[in-house]
């Protein structure tokens, strides 16, 4: 059974009749690159489907490929080539999804039996000639379902954070480890960082790591918050207290004035008293009493 072939059919896992790589062509008998994988269907004209949302770039026929369809998968930035179809059920420019039947496996073109030949390459290779394309082995492709994970948060300058700005960044169980899905765009708190492979990785949740790069997003380092220097707070004057203080001061001043007046009068009284004493002494002396 195949690793990825079942994704091209409904409820059917095909077997591989000819893998990707160099081989002796069954018809030409020459050693050539088999630029795809042949999936057997037990000689049945089974319906074939897109991997996921895509767009039909081209449909046609030639003596080698038979009936063929090129489908672009934008999320993956890949093009899939379906060949040797018994029939075609789509047209150029049509938007398709994994539930849209493209056609049926067949034996048109240079073949020996019913099967689906599936070629796989980067979108950038599409306009190149057949031999100039960098064909890839679809069975070796690590396909991840269109599944988005994790909920972004808000910008918080007190924390290290990472803002994801692309839609096809993997979430992995460990740095450079098992792929869990794709991360939703947005800002995430950074719980830990590690270097692995060619990237620095940030932990954004339990068992959830994403690679960081200027191409993928923006890393925000937490800002140090400086303590504000204490400001001089003007003391508010309490009018009532001011009035009490003024009255107290006035009272003290008044008392001070009364005290001085008292001292002055006391001194005068002492002077008068001394004079009276002297006067009586003189009289008593004259009378011979003293």
Predicted confidence at residue 265, as pLDDT, reads: 60
Q: Half-sphere exposure (CA, 13 Å, Cβ side) for 252?
A: 6
The answer to whether residue 50 scores a pLDDT higher than 80 is yes
User: Residue 250 and residue 244: Cα distance in Å, rounded?
Assistant: 10
For the chain, which residues make up each domain, given as ranges?
A: 5-140, 148-220
CATH class of 148-220: mainly beta
CATH superfamily entry for domain 5-140: Glucose Permease (Domain IIA) (2.70.70.10)
Q: What is the pTM of this model?
A: 0.61
Alpha carbon of 212 to those of 137, 187, 199: distances in Å?
Answer: 28, 12, 7
Q: What is the pLDDT of residues 167-214, one digit of tens each?
A: 889 999 999 998 888 899 999 999 999 999 889 999 999 999 999 999
């Amino acid at each position: 059974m195949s690793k990825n072939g079942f994704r091209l059919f409904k409820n059917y896992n095909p077997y591989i009749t000819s893998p990707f790589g160099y081989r002796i062509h069954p018809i030409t008998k020459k050693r050539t690159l088999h630029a795809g994988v042949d999936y057997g269907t037990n000689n049945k004209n089974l319906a074939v489907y897109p991997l996921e949302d895509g767009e039909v770039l081209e449909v046609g026929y030639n003596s080698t490929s038979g009936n063929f369809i090129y489908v672009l998968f934008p999320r993956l930035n890949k093009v899939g080539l379906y060949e040797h179809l018994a029939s075609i059920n789509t047209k150029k420019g049509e938007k398709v999804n994994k539930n849209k039947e493209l056609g049926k496996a067949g034996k048109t073109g240079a073949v020996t039996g019913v099967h689906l030949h599936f070629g796989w390459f980067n979108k950038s290779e599409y306009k190149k000639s057949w031999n100039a394309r960098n064909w890839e082995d679809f069975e070796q492709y690590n396909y991840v379902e269109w599944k988005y994970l994790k909920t972004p948060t808000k910008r918080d300058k007190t924390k290290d954070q990472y803002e994801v700005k692309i839609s096809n960044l993997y979430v992995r169980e460990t740095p450079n480890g098992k792929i869990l899905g794709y991360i939703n765009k947005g800002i995430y708190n950074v719980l830990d960082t590690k270097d692995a492979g060619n990237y620095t990785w940030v932990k954004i949740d339990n068992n959830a790591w994403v690679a960081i790069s200027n191409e993928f997003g923006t890393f925000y380092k937490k800002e140090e918050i400086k303590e504000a220097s204490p400001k001089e707070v003007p003391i508010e004057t309490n009018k009532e207290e001011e009035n009490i203080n003024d009255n107290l001061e006035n009272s003290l001043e008044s008392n001070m004035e009364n005290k001085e007046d008292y001292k002055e009068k006391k001194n005068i009284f002492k002077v008068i008293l001394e004079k009276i004493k002297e006067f009586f002494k003189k009289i008593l002396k004259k009378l011979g009493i003293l």
